């Protein structure tokens, strides 16, 4: 199959206003501290399920499997920072939540169950879901420790950035040299 026919997709909770503005302000303060692959406002989301690259037929099956998922709205509050796998060997810098954590896990499990019941399996299915908002990815060529002032800002993160989750979206990710471009796929 021609790779041009594949759709790179994921399922995500998007971030409402004014939380998006608060996150953008926080990121703008961090960006000058290190040359990393920082996320930009159009990329703000919390991934519930990464689907990888799939053909149109699979994307249609995904849409059918998730379109009738209902849940009670819940609040999400990003209130602490971290890194995968850790700050000393960071590949990804993130913010996570205490409020909304269990609800995000339950929603991700509900989505996974619906996909599995529809016979849809994806490479990421065996990984534990850890709700997080990605701040930045550390480029492969970044061979020095992260600057101490950046680590201090993250370790001392004391904001509470909140919004209400009322839904989720199936998203398309188009990779470009400038970074990914995300767009909603209508259910």
* Exposed e or buried b per residue across 35-67, where buried means at least 16 C-beta atoms within 10 angstroms of its C-beta: ebebbeeeebbbbbbebeebeeebbebbeebbe
Residue 142 has, within 13 A of its CA and on its CB side, a CA count of 17
Tokens representing 182?
């995300």
Cα(186)–Cα(172) distance, rounded to whole angstroms? 10
Q: What is the architecture of the domain spanning 3-185? A: Alpha-Beta Complex (3.90)
On whether the CB atoms of residues 96 and 148 are closer than 8 A, the answer is no
Q: 3-state DSSP call for residue 48? A: strand
pLDDT at residue 143, as a whole number: 81
Q: Which residues of the chain have pLDDT under 70?
A: 1-4, 124-125
First to last CA, the chain: 25
Instruction: Give the residue extent of every domain in the chain.
Output: 3-185
Handedness of CA 14, 20, 22, 26 (dihedral sign): positive
Tokens representing 13?
């909770």
| pTM for the predicted model, two decimal places | 0.93
pLDDT at residue 140, as a whole number: 86
> Pick from 97, 184, 83, 80: which is nearest to 137 by CA?
83
Residues classed as catalytic: 45, 132
């Amino acid at each position: 199959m021609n790779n041009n026919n594949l759709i790179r997709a994921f399922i995500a909770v998007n971030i409402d206003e004014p939380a998006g503005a608060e996150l953008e302000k926080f990121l703008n303060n961090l960006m000058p501290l290190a040359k990393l692959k920082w996320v930009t406002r159009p990329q703000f989301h919390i991934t519930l399920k990464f689907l990888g690259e799939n053909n149109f037929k699979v994307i249609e099956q995904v849409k059918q499997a998730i379109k009738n998922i209902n849940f009670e709205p819940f609040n999400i509050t990003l209130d602490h920072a971290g890194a995968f796998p850790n700050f000393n060997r960071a590949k990804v810098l993130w913010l996570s939540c205490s409020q909304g954590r269990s609800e995000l896990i339950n929603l991700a499990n509900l989505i996974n169950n619906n996909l599995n019941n529809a016979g849809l399996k994806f490479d990421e299915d065996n990984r534990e879901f850890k709700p997080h908002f990605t701040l930045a990815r550390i480029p492969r060529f970044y061979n020095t420790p992260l600057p101490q002032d950046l680590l201090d800002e993250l370790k001392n993160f004391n904001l509470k950035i909140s919004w209400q989750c009322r839904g989720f979206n199936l998203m398309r990710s188009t990779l470009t040299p400038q970074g990914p471009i995300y767009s909603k796929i209508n259910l």
